[in-house]
């Protein structure tokens, strides 16, 4: 399966967040072409700043594998991870990080010091329009 197929699954996770009134971000962790962990933003519901989609997906994937390193896995996330999540992705040594839309304000790519593992491959812009549109719709609804 291609990148768009898995990103579409991450977008489904983001949609769950949207429907629960959370900033719509979703993530899935893929290993050997199978989704072994997924998550969506639940910071409001759980009153917990650490409950980002990526954190939940990493914990789920590690739980599935019974191992904390995810070298052979790839994460698909609808929005560029923040520094916290990038730090977690770094610790988990994910093999790949596929990003939907970019987050110029809060994203980790602005940080000059290395945050990810040096071997993590990064790809951006997969289904970015779909991700951006969902975020835009969310924030437009908030303002009304």
List interacting residues with a copy of itself (CB under 8 A): 43-44, 46-50, 55, 58-59, 62-63, 65-69, 82-88, 90-92, 110-113, 115
Phi, psi of 141 (to 5 degrees): -60, -40
Q: Which residue has the tokens 């990148």?
A: 3
Q: Minimal distance in Å, beta carbon 73 to a copy of itself?
A: 12
Q: Nearer Cβ to a copy of itself, position 7 or 23?
A: 23
- 116 and 122 Cβ atoms separated by less than 8 Å: yes
Closest separation between CB of residue 129 and a copy of itself, Å?
27
**Closest approach of Cβ 84 to a copy of itself, in Å?**
3
Residue 54 annotated in active site: yes
Output 11 or 56, the one with its CB closest to a copy of itself.
56
| Rg, C-alpha atoms of the chain | 14
The Cα 94–Cα 21 span in angstroms is: 29
Residue 102 CB neighbours (<10 A): 16
Q: Which of 13, 22, 54, 80 is catalytic?
A: 54
In whole angstroms, how close is the CB of 136 to a copy of itself at the nearest point? Answer: 22
Q: Which is nearer to a copy of itself, 4 or 106 (CB)?
A: 106
86 and 102 Cβ atoms separated by less than 8 Å: no
Task: Assign 30 to helix, strand or coil.
Answer: strand
Active site residues: 54
């Amino acid at each position: 399966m291609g990148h768009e197929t898995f990103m579409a699954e991450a977008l489904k996770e983001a949609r769950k967040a949207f429907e629960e009134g959370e900033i719509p971000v979703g993530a899935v962790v893929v290993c050997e072409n199978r989704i072994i962990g997924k998550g969506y933003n639940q910071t409001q519901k759980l009153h917990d700043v650490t409950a980002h989609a990526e954190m939940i997906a990493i914990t789920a994937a590690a739980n599935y594998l019974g191992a904390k390193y995810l070298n052979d896995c790839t994460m698909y996330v609808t929005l560029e991870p923040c520094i916290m999540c990038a730090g977690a992705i770094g610790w988990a040594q994910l093999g790949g990080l596929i990003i939907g839309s970019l987050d110029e304000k809060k994203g980790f790519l602005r940080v000059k010091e290395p945050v990810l593992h040096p071997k993590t491959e990064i790809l951006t812009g997969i289904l970015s329009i779909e991700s951006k549109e969902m975020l835009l719709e969310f924030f437009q609804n908030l303002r009304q």
